[in-house]
């Protein structure tokens, strides 16, 4: 018994020491000014200090000093953070909150692994380690979902409400998953798609996991748009999951492993730019330099990889214009992807593209830069907290009389679709990816 207690005490000290080494300088950088408070969606919805960036930073500092227990006192406030990183933009002294958050999650995950895990935690780990890193398994999941929809099983499941008994978040999100395109139309890895007309540049396209498996139509339309502006597009064969979900959930070593695999695959492509169409994935890709900063043999190549990583909106603006063929009838608003805006610093290009569509009425929505509370898998893990923030977001959307909400990330698109459904506006409004509205105006189907 005493040996067990001594071992547990040793492990607690080791966790605190690791947290101290990785985050303590950053926590001391915070001057507790409170500029982050108005920018934080969880502080706005929950109204308590521990749900703010400032409060979480203070808790990390106390845990690193051994004053509070990492699992008992720090885990929940950290887990309730959306990781939108709007606080970084607001911070006057440049505290790297996102990096501190991931370091804290890594230590918490290690601490949790030594305790009895919940069913939800075990399922999450199964997905992180045995599903997302395997493209073939993800594609099989997409194929099965295509069959599920094709056979009308989705309507049967909804009518019986069986999913509600299993998981309310899954039941709600299942309703807004778009129609999965036939697997036969999915992009083939290793394929090169020639530019239409004069070739201006060669790019390598990142297909992602969810986009490739469940929303492959958006990937296919992305290639149509890119080739239309003169890009030769190659799909690197050995690319993998970007590692964003792993980094956000404390699986740091797995994120590093996936980063190395992607760097190898894309560097072999001979492309001038590496292009993605998902804000969350793109943010993970541009942070490979930080992720591999302590590995001498990877540090330089990771920095070069980051320089070449671009969001599709940046490429379409630089090498456009697009060959629009028809007007867009309706009012559109743009909901920023937090990671596209706050991490990749891309916010002008999507707006410029929307404003360039013939006939479009573009309205800037109040709070478009604020998180919709999708947060990767946050809306599954903290459904009711997520819905509270989403409902407030929908109030802003409704003020614009929009007929379409445009996003640049799959999670955001599904979240906004759910918001539209929750507010009974599915007949008047829809949620679309930027690629979809651009492709539609170009006549691509």
Average pLDDT score over residue span 198-219: 96
* pLDDT tens string 293-338: 999 999 999 999 999 999 999 999 999 999 999 999 999 999 999 9
Positive or negative, the CA dihedral 175, 178, 181, 186 is: negative
pLDDT > 60? residue 114: no
Q: What is the pLDDT of residue 7?
A: 47
Q: What is the pLDDT of residue 2?
A: 46
3-state secondary structure of 358: coil
Q: What is the pTM of this model?
A: 0.93
The CATH code for residues 2-116 is 1.10.1060
* Cα distance between residue 203 and residue 174, in whole Å: 34
Looking at CATH, the fold of the domain delimited by 321-442 is given as Rossmann fold (3.40.50)
Local confidence band at 13 (pLDDT 50, 70, 90 cut-offs): confident
* pLDDT tens string 364-385: 999 999 999 998 889 988 999 9
The CATH 3.40.50 portion of the chain extends over 185-317, 321-442
Token code pair at residue 312 = 């599709």
Q: Cβ(172)–Cβ(384) under 8 Å?
A: no
The structure tokens 């189907």 sit at 445
Percentage of the chain exceeding pLDDT 70: 96
Q: What is the pLDDT of residue 5?
A: 45
pLDDT > 60? residue 1: no
Average pLDDT score over residue span 197-211: 96
- Spatial CA neighbour of 192 closest among 226, 239, 232: 232
Token code pair at residue 389 = 């923030």
Local confidence band at 109 (pLDDT 50, 70, 90 cut-offs): confident
Q: Cβ(53)–Cβ(87) under 8 Å?
A: yes
The structure tokens 């080791």 sit at 14
Local confidence band at 71 (pLDDT 50, 70, 90 cut-offs): confident
Q: What is the pLDDT of residue 10?
A: 58
Tell me phi and psi for residue 144, to 5 degrees. Answer: -65, -35
Q: What is the pLDDT of residue 248?
A: 87
CB atoms within 10 A of CB 94: 9
Kindly write down the DSSP assignment for every residue of 367-379, as one continuous string.
TTTS--S-TTTHH
Token code pair at residue 407 = 């996003």
Q: What is the mean pLDDT of the chain?
A: 93
Q: What is the pLDDT of residue 430?
A: 96
The CATH 1.10.1060 portion of the chain extends over 2-116
pLDDT > 90? residue 404: yes
The CATH code for residues 185-317 is 3.40.50
């Amino acid at each position: 018994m005493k040996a067990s207690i001594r071992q547990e005490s040793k492990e607690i000290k080791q966790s605190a020491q690791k947290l101290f080494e990785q985050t303590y300088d950053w926590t001391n950088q915070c001057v507790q000014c409170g500029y982050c408070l108005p920018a934080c969606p969880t502080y706005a919805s929950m109204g308590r200090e521990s749900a703010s960036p400032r409060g979480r930073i203070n808790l990390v500092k106390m845990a690193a000093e051994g004053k509070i227990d990492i699992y008992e006192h720090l885990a929940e406030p950290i887990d309730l953070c959306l990781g939108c990183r709007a606080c970084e933009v607001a911070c006057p002294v440049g505290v790297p909150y996102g990096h501190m958050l991931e370091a804290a999650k890594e230590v918490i995950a290690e601490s949790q692994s030594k305790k009895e895990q919940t069913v939800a935690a075990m399922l999450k780990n199964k997905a992180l380690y045995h599903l997302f890193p395997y493209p073939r398994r993800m594609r099989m999941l997409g194929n099965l979902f295509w069959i599920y929809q094709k056979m009308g099983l989705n309507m049967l499941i909804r009518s019986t409400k069986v999913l509600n008994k299993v998981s309310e978040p899954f039941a709600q999100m299942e309703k807004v998953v778009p129609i999965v395109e036939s697997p036969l139309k999915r992009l083939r890895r290793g394929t090169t798609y020639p530019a239409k007309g004069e070739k201006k540049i060669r790019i390598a396209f990142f297909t992602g996991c969810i986009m490739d498996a469940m929303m492959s139509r958006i990937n296919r339309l992305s290639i149509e748009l890119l080739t239309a502006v003169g890009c030769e597009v190659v799909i690197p064969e050995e690319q993998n999951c970007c590692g964003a979900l792993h980094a956000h959930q404390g699986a740091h070593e797995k994120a590093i492993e996936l980063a190395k695999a992607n760097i190898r695959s894309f560097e072999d492509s001979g492309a001038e730019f590496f292009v993605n169409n998902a804000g969350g994935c793109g943010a993970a890709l541009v942070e490979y330099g930080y992720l591999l900063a302590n590995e001498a043999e990877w540090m330089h190549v990771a920095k070069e990889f980051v320089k070449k990583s671009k969001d599709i909106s940046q490429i379409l603006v630089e090498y456009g214009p697009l060959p629009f063929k028809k007007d867009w009838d309706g009012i559109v608003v743009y909901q920023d992807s937090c990671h596209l805006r706050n991490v990749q610093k891309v916010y002008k290009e999507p707006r410029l593209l929307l404003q360039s569509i013939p006939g479009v009425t573009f309205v800037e929505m109040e709070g478009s830069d604020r998180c919709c509370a999708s947060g990767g898998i946050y809306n599954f893990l903290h459904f009711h907290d997520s819905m509270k923030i989403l409902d407030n977001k929908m109030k802003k959307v409704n003020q614009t009389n929009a007929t379409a909400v445009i996003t640049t990330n799959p999670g955001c698109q599904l979240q906004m679709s759910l918001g539209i459904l929750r507010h009974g506006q599915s007949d008047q409004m829809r949620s679309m990816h930027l690629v979809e509205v651009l492709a539609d105006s170009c006549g691509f189907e």
